[in-house]
Copies of this chain bind each other. A is one copy, B any other.
Amino acid sequence: MTTDRWLSAEQLHAWVRFIAVVELLPGVLDTQLQKEAELTHFEYFTLAMLSEAPDRTLRMTALSTATNSTLPRLSHVVARLEKRGFIARTPCAEDRRATNAQLTEAGWEKIHSAAPGHVSTVRDRVIDTLDATDIADLDRIMSKVLASLDPGNTFTLLDRSA
């Protein structure tokens, strides 16, 4: 900020493409999931995180970091998913401020029925356009950026999900 630190031609070229993808990707994921499962990608991801947690249960705070979201946002989303019968909220015994979100049987079935279509679009639109080298590079680069965007929470990531 002190000096005019503009971007180099290479940096700018990469950046413009990057934000284009960031702008377009959510829409692509949402559209497919909305049509085939009546689910937002964020809702899908929330259910997915729960489905892999022990006892399919997570405290709201843990779930919010797992989904890279804020607590208010998660609270609204979980409220909706609870109304639809996919999640049950119960007060936590050890800490009575806390709330446990648990995937119901219906929620379990929901995500398992939605998963194949979702994974298919992820493959078609992103993953399968990249070779093994690309994947390794993407992983390395996104890990760096993530560490900068979300310092400290990176370690929270579960490695199984989609």
Mark A residues whose CB is within 8 Å of B: 1, 4-7, 9-26, 28, 42, 45, 67-69, 116-117, 119-120, 122-127, 129-130, 132, 134-150, 157-162
Closest 10 CB pairs of A and B: A14-B139, A17-B142, A137-B137, A1-B120, A23-B68, A24-B149, A14-B138, A129-B148, A129-B144, A18-B142
Chain A to chain B contacts (Cβ below 8 Å), 8 pairs: A1-B117, A15-B162, A16-B157, A20-B142, A20-B146, A21-B142, A126-B145, A137-B141
Instruction: List B contacts of A117 (CB < 8 A).
Output: 1
**Cα–Cα distance between A17 and B150 once the two chains are bound (Å):** 11
Contact of A7 among B68, B116, B122, B139 (CB under 8 A): B122
Contact A135–B1 (Cβ < 8 Å):
no
Copies, count: 2
The distance from the CB of A5 to the nearest CB of chain B, in whole angstroms, is 6
The distance from the CB of A23 to the nearest CB of chain B, in whole angstroms, is 5
Contact of A21 among B14, B45, B146 (CB under 8 A): B146
Contact A139–B13 (Cβ < 8 Å):
yes
Contact A125–B148 (Cβ < 8 Å):
yes
Contact B23–A157 (Cβ < 8 Å):
no
Instruction: List B contacts of A12 (CB < 8 A).
Output: 159-162
Known: A6-B119, A162-B7. A135 touches B14 (CB 8 A): yes
The distance from the CB of A162 to the nearest CB of chain B, in whole angstroms, is 6
Known: A7-B119, A120-B1. A18 touches B159 (CB 8 A): no
